[in-house]
Amino acid sequence: MEDSRNLIDEYKGMANEQVFAALSKKRIPLEIAIENVEHDFNIGSIVRTANSFNVSKVHIIGKKKYNRRGAMCTDKYLEIIHHPSIEDFLATQEGRELVAIENNLERAKPLNKKMFQQNTTLLFGSENNGITEELLQKAGDVRFIESFGSTRSVNVGVAAGIAMYEYVRQNILQ
């Protein structure tokens, strides 16, 4: 029987648990945190992109429910941790640099000037409201993605992909 899952050939025919275990042996130290303020298709998209870069963990802060359709079943292949509160999430982040990706703050600096540490967690907020002030206060760094058109930002799913790639470009693809 042909394996119709969207997997690279190396993982075709393997059970989901075997794929998870194989990927776990070569995960990168990057973690992603999504402050799940709203029910959002973009969260699933971020999970799918996180799988593509084989990040260590995805943290969802707030409501547990999200639209998994965007993840395209990739949530089976990486560790996703739900945190009911910001405090619960922060308890898991000792020794990690927290970098918020947020476009509407005076303290935000351009992403292209960022030199990422190995143990980084990228923070993303909801599409409409962004990252809450409470979580932003805990971020050691705030970055925005440079925009050259008429809109001030790209959507959060795209922003996550850009930021993850920049981390990987600096820390993995060298």
Q: What pLDDT is recorded for position 153?
A: 82
Task: Tell me if 93 is assigned to some domain.
Answer: yes
Whether 1 maps to a domain, the answer reads no
Q: Which residue shows structure tokens 């993982």?
A: 11
Minimal CA–CA distance to 171: which of 53, 25, 60?
A: 53
User: Is 16 inside a domain boundary?
Assistant: no
Per-residue pLDDT of the chain (174 residues; tens, 9 = 90+): 789 888 999 999 999 999 999 999 999 999 999 997 565 678 888 999 999 999 999 999 997 666 666 667 788 889 999 999 999 999 999 999 999 999 877 889 999 999 999 999 999 998 778 899 999 999 999 999 999 999 878 889 999 999 999 999 999 998
CA atoms within 13 A on the CB side of 113: 8
Residue 124 lies in a domain: yes
Strand 109-110, strand 28-36: pairing: unpaired
Q: Which tokens belong to 131? A: 């990252």
Sequence-distant (≥ 6) Cβ neighbours of residue 83 within 8 angstroms: 59, 60, 61, 62, 89, 92
Alpha-carbon span 164 to 154, nearest angstrom: 14
With respect to residue 2, please indicate whether it lies within any of the assigned structural domains. no
- How large is the angle between the packed helices 41-52 and 156-171, nearest 10 degrees? 20
Ramachandran region, residue 62 (left: φ > 0; alpha: ψ -120 to 50; beta: rest): left
Q: Domain residues for 149?
A: 27-171
Count how many domains the chain has.
1
Q: Is residue 48 domain-resident? A: yes
**pTM of the complete model:** 0.93
Q: Does residue 8 lie in a domain region?
A: no
Residue 7 in domain:
no
Q: What is the CATH number of the domain that holds 115?
A: 3.40.1280.10
